[in-house]
Amino acid sequence: MEHSKQYFKDPDVKPWIQPSNSSRIIPCETFEHHSKYNSIITQFDLVCSRDILVAATQFFHLFGVLLGGIITTKLLESISPRNTMLLGMYSQIMCGCLTGLVNIFELHMLFRCLSAICCGLMYTAGGVILSDITSGKYRTASMCLFEQFWSIGVMFLPGIASFWSNWSHLYLAISLPTFVLVFLHRWIPDSPKWLLQQGRIREAKAVLEDSAKVNGNTNQIPSDFVDQLNLMAEIMKTKPDPDPWWSIWETYKTRKNLILVHLAWSIFIIVYYGMLLNIRAFGTDHLQINTVIAGASEIIGTFIGFGLIMCTAKKWFLAGLFNIFGGLVTYLAWIIPAEVIGNLRTVFLMLTAMVAKMSISCCLSLLTVCTTELAEENKKKGAAYSAIVWARIWLLSAPFVGATIIFGQLLPQTIFGSLTLIGGIIAGSIHSPQTHPCIKKLQFSQKVHCIN
């Protein structure tokens, strides 16, 4: 009673109606929860004026993602990608379990950040291996579809969560299965390119011979295979290191595209994660099915992006149009009649949001695969590093955009939709050559052409 008098004019008569400080969020001293599921929100009382701490814990997770990529890049200078993955696996098991076991909120945020760093070790090192053991269209496919497993994980998460009634148990359930990856690690190949750069010829030879055996191409291994590997290792030693990431801005003819691609990265990465976190704005009654739909929308969008990369030189323009359309569709949420309530309203809200979810995933596929096309050969690695770090710095703001829901249910979606629209205009202005130009040749008196 004494506490409420600080904020309400008349605490005896429905005090929650007329706060004296004109605030929409009233600080509370104690909370009483009646929920079948013991979530982080109920565990740490992340409600009322403490609701912003939900965004804070998400912020620390995304900060760990940022640090994980930077740390992995540095570790790969001396530790092989395969061993970096193994380090990340063991570390993630430990940090992930501790995240769910600690009962102090500050420690929870710390270990959540550390868990994200460990995931970054696995994710980034795995991407390097995929990039180094594939080439051409197969490399494009592996890089593009690599992102699908994130969406598949999003779709599986509600099902896994349904088996547990406590968030601590859920953290253990998603952390301990990493032991399966530790067991499968013996079959994960190392990067032959990294091994050759370190002069480890014998190990690189073993990896490549094993790959040839799996693919049934052992008869294509040349007789002077070892000599060729030695020559390649010597060339790699004498080859100058890639230009530092800041040097990408020195070339005037690529500067415009690189500025545009950095802006596109920052916008789409915010909207991609922000819209996923904003799913709970559509109600908690259907949170599980809505999360599955969001993951499925991401998969569809990724395949659309993959098709644009493989089939057309106008990939950026078409992806930009798709995102302009997706951004405009999000505004339709404002014209849903007030009479539409309950489950039907949730359906309409999801429809207006998921078109943008597809278009965003489509453009992120292009950004993941085609960013390096915009830089000169010796600056490609720097361009990729610069764009991703830049994007992950801006990603830290995504949870706080979602926190604007306190001013209205549709405000976060409107912000994300506007960003999608702006991102579509930016993406459509990027110009780069077709990723895989088709070779026009005469076959059976018919010409084979690409889509232009």
| Rounded Cα–Cα distance for residues 9 and 14 (Å) | 10
Domain harbouring 284, CATH code: 1.20.1250.20
Contact assessment for residue 80 and residue 195, using Cβ atoms and an 8 Å cutoff: yes
Q: Which helix (H) or strand (E) holds 447?
A: strand 446-447
Task: Kindly report, residue by residue over 356-371, the tens digit of the pLDDT.
Answer: 999 999 999 999 988 8
Task: Kindly report, residue by residue over 197-217, the tens digit of the pLDDT.
Answer: 888 888 888 888 888 887 777
- Torsion 28-30-35-37 (CA) sign: positive
In this predicted structure, what is the pLDDT of residue 18? 44
Residue 55 lies in a domain: no
In this predicted structure, what is the pLDDT of residue 442? 36
The residue ranges of the chain whose pLDDT is under 50 are 1, 3-4, 7-8, 10-21, 23, 439-452
- pTM score of the predicted model: 0.81
Q: Which long-range contacts (CB under 8 A, 24 or more apart) does 193-202 make?
A: 193/132, 194/76, 194/80, 194/81, 194/128, 194/132, 195/80, 196/229, 196/232, 196/233, 196/236, 197/233, 197/236, 197/237, 198/80, 199/233, 199/237, 201/226, 201/229, 201/230, 201/233
Residue 351 lies in a domain: yes
In this predicted structure, what is the pLDDT of residue 447? 41
In this predicted structure, what is the pLDDT of residue 391? 92
Domain count, the chain: 1
> Of 239, 264, 279, 281, whose CA–CA distance to 378 is shortest?
239
Residue 330 lies in a domain: yes
In this predicted structure, what is the pLDDT of residue 36? 61
Residue 179 lies in a domain: no
Three-state SS letters, 145-189: HHCHHHHHHHHHHHHHHCCCCEHHHHHHHHHCCHHHHHHHHHHCC
Range of the domain at 331: 243-452
Residue 119 lies in a domain: no
Residue 277 lies in a domain: yes
Residue 400 lies in a domain: yes
Residue 169 lies in a domain: no
In this predicted structure, what is the pLDDT of residue 275? 87
